[in-house]
Chains A and B, each alone.
Chain A
């Protein structure tokens, strides 16, 4: 079964600084990979997803993520963080075969300071 690890529980960055959130997965083949964002009191919103092809994926709100098969990673990046980006970020992995559900990481909470 697939699994996902988000090593950082909480990250604080200054507004305007760059951001990288880490995600490592475990799966026997190339999985489907997702990043979701959850603002306080809100449901999850999809930022981007990777299925195949170009390993650099562009998403909404200026986010991008890069799939690195050799490192089993799918890190999320943003060149310049805005205060409104403060939220909880979840990486999720899905299997390409079988009927197994998405598996979410435990999340990384992002705080943005002035």
Chain B
């Protein structure tokens, strides 16, 4: 089966610009996650969707970050305006069953963002 797809793979922007990332999860997966992975750190959850509803966005900096999951399938994560500290890899993951943390999460290759 096809894995989690993300685009673009790399993005370089200047601070205060905006940027958007796209994720297409594995077909049929109910839950979608966006993680931020700063260099030298483990992934940190930004937002979790269950179908097209938000389950957890407690760690999403809502003054600059936004995310949506259209029709419970694809998702976009936007940063506006970007700051230097947003430089990181943004990982998208999906899992089959809704609301079960025990479920295996399947990760995409990530989008590497550099903010200058």
Contact = CB atoms under 8 A, between A and B. Distances in A.
Interface in A68-114: 90, 92, 94-95, 99-107
Q: State the main secondary structure of chain B at its contact with A.
A: loop
Contact count band on B: 20 to 34
Given A92-B42, A104-B42, A106-B42, A41 B101 contact: no
Contacts of B56: 99, 101
A44 B99 CA distance: 20
A106 B41 contact: yes
A90 B102 CA distance: 16
B1 to A, nearest CB: 14
Contacts of B91: 43-44
Interface residues of A, number: 23
B109 interface: yes
Given A102-B45, A105-B42, A107-B42, A44 B107 contact: yes
Contacts of B109: 41-43
Contacts of A90: 42-43
Interface of A: 32, 36, 41-46, 49, 51, 90, 92, 94-95, 99-107
When A and B form their complex, which 9 residue pairs have the shortest distance between CB atoms, in order from nearest?
A104-B42, A43-B107, A101-B45, A44-B107, A94-B101, A43-B109, A43-B108, A104-B43, A46-B104
22 contacts: A32-B101, A32-B102, A41-B109, A43-B4, A43-B109, A44-B93, A44-B105, A44-B107, A46-B104, A46-B105, A92-B42, A94-B101, A99-B56, A101-B45, A101-B48, A101-B56, A102-B101, A103-B42, A105-B42, A106-B40, A106-B42, A107-B40
Contacts of B55: 99
A42 to B, nearest CB: 6
